[in-house]
Amino acid sequence: MRRPPARQVPTFVAAPPPAAGRAPQPAPAETLDDWPVDGLRGSSRTQAATSRGVHGLLWTLLIGAVALGVLGLANLGSRRAAPAAAAPAVPLVAAAPPGGCAELLVSAWLAGDATTLGTLVSADVPRLPARQRAATRTYTVSAQADPASTAGWSYVIGADVVTLDKQGRSTGAGVQFFAVTLTRPAAGAAAGGTCAGWAAPTLPAQVAGLAPAGRQELAYGRALPVTGQPIPDTLNPFFTALLAGGPEIERYLAPGTTIAAVTPAPYTAVRVERLSALKDAEVGTGQTLPADGTRVQLLATVAAKVGDQPGEWRLTYPLTLAVRGGRWEITAIDTTPAVPTPTPSSSTRPAVIAPSARTGAPSAPASGTPGTPR
């Protein structure tokens, strides 16, 4: 095996002394190119080229970043800030006075009770006739925060009034209505008195009563038997368990439905007196039930008896029932009875436009009632 030739290593020899009268000349600088090592020379050239490329790339990125920054600042300066949307105004509602204060004021005014009025009215209370009228019952018809102030509430109080003669016998005077305003105590004032510092700035004002409400039509237009059918066979024991202490109310309820029995039981006997369903309700025929999952809305009038007392008390329950496993189950005591769906009035119906016999184009409706064909 041949041995490679020995590598020549440059030899550094001291330069001869300069000749007399001549300035010394610097020795020529020796570079890597003077080395007779081909691999080292090529590697150095590659590294130098790579270094120059990297430096050029870094400078390019730096200049680009500065240019983008300047452009962004220019756009930001020219862009106008959008005004912030104003927050919706939240109406301030005064905290309500203690319950019953307005009713107490009306009762005291009717009775001429100056002592109680003195704790409820901030104005001077004149002398009133005493023990000539009285309120046997009072109730709040309406109550609302005063829209003109955040420190007041306005009420309309209904009172069942009786008049009293000199012997103390009473005569009914009907339900009468009174307007009352209560204002909160001033800031820093002690919250004392009958109504925690709330007081009426004036005496009550008697006002007209509300017009009687019209009769509300209900949607239960189909009468059902109250005995001998699957639905009443479920409802009669259900109401007995609900109101008269009957056993196992849960057995009449659909899964997931919770209805608690009234305890202690207020009645001793209960029966379904009247039963009706929606006109299009599917209730089955005779002892035959509709398919599982069928639901119906009912209105049940219940007659309840208390011990040996004469007469019966009537209660009305809107209910929803469903069929499951071949039996009716109560799914809910509805919060409100069903009412008919309102139908649009004739004045709001769209005009009927018939095609013209001559051209097939729509013709305008005749004069008179809109939408009436010619």
**What's the pLDDT tens digit per position in 142-170?**
999 876 665 789 999 999 999 999 888 89
**Closest to 287 measured CA to CA, from 332, 225, 238, 330:** 225
User: Which class for 47: exposed (0-12), middle (13-18), buried (19 or more C-beta within 10 A)?
Assistant: exposed
Whether the pLDDT of residue 39 is over 50: the answer is: no
Confidence of residue 178 (pLDDT cuts 50, 70, 90): very high
Contacts of 161 (CB under 8 A, 6+ apart): 110, 133, 134, 135, 136, 172, 173, 174, 175, 176
What is the rounded distance in angstroms from the CA atom of residue 326 to the CA atom of residue 323? 6
- Comparing 122-126, 189-193, 318-322, which segment has the lowest mean pLDDT? 189-193
- Comparing 113-117, 232-236, 352-356, which segment has the lowest mean pLDDT? 352-356
248: left (phi over 0), alpha (psi -120 to 50) or beta: left
How far is residue 168 from each of residues 111, 263, 356, measured CA to CA in Å? 13, 40, 83
Q: Could you give the angle at the alpha carbon of 365 between the alpha carbons of 360 and 368, nearest 5°? A: 160
* DSSP label of 362: B
Compare 157 and 14 and report the one with higher pLDDT: 157
pLDDT at 53: 72
Decide if 86 contacts 186 (C-beta within 8 A). no
Decide if 333 contacts 249 (C-beta within 8 A). no
Q: Could you give the angle at the alpha carbon of 356 between the alpha carbons of 350 and 358, nearest 5°? A: 175
Is cis: bond before 318, omega within 30 of 0?
Answer: no
Q: Among the ranges 105-109, 125-129, 142-146, 358-362, which has the highest mean pLDDT value?
A: 105-109
pLDDT at 306: 94
* DSSP label of 79: S
Cα 30 to chain centroid distance, Å, stands at: 91
Decide if 141 contacts 177 (C-beta within 8 A). yes
pLDDT at 2: 57
Three-state SS at 207: strand
Give the pLDDT mean for 203-226.
Answer: 88
What are residue 49's phi and psi, to 5 degrees?
Answer: -65, -40
The domain segmentation of the chain, as residue ranges, is 101-207, 222-333
**What's the pLDDT tens digit per position in 88-106?**
554 455 578 888 999 999 9
pLDDT at 64: 74
**What's the pLDDT tens digit per position in 25-36?**
555 555 444 545
Give the pLDDT mean for 187-195.
Answer: 59
Number of residues in the chain: 374
What is the rounded distance in angstroms from the CA atom of residue 105 to the CA atom of residue 135? 11
Instruction: Indicate the CATH number for domain 222-333.
Output: 3.10.450.540
